[in-house]
Amino acid sequence: MSFKFENDSHDLVKDLETLYRDSSTADVTFIVEGLKLGAHTSIIGCRSSVFAKMLDHDMLEKGTRRIQITDADFQVFDAFLLYLYTAQIKNEDWETVYSLYSLAAKYDASSLKHKCSHWLGKNISLETVCKCCALAELHGDQLLKQITKLFMREHLNETLQTTDWQIIVSDDSQLASEVLSFATSRMQHAPFLSF
């Protein structure tokens, strides 16, 4: 007679979230917008090679165990740390996922970057396509970039009239040229690619 254990990964996720939320055992503190977030170096170090290097080498952060975050708002950074603990994104709105993608790229949290890229590609719209294209270009995300280019080709006239398109034109003329060349190519239009 064999005995089978039930999958208790849900309990593990809940326990890790509880560990994160209870900062009494935290051994590193993040300061974001003047507010503190506690974390555990063993967890964030194994989930982010950037944090591992910051806390293992002769950097200021190793001695003080305080890391000042100046390029993220408190709620997004809290969601980022929570993801490092639980591999879950609780708030899947566009702004949050877009911001999490940038943090994941900066701190080398590749599984989060991949999940955010996938989510952004599935939720592409006229309002978000140019920002997603610029983000994909910045971080070398070829699949997300291809999704945005295909979307823009299908909605070229509308895209060219957006403020975000004008930002791409002024900030990255090479990317704008690449998108226009792709969109206006005489090659047979491929079906819309999605995740």
Number of Cβ within a 10 Å radius of residue 152: 24
- Answer yes or no: pTM beyond 0.75: yes
**Quick one: which of 60, 116, 61 has its CA closest to 44?**
61
Taking the chain (195 residues) in consecutive chunks of 10 residues, what is each chunk's mean pLDDT?
69 93 94 97 94 77 80 97 96 96 97 98 98 98 97 96 98 97 72 58
Q: Supply the pLDDT for residue 14.
A: 94
What is 4-31 written as a DSSP string?
A: -PPP-HHHHHHHHHHHHH-GGG--EEEE
What is 104-149 written as a DSSP string?
A: HHHTT-HHHHHHHHHHHHHT--TTTHHHHHHHHHHHT-HHHHHHHH
Reading the block at residue 54, the tokens are 């910051």
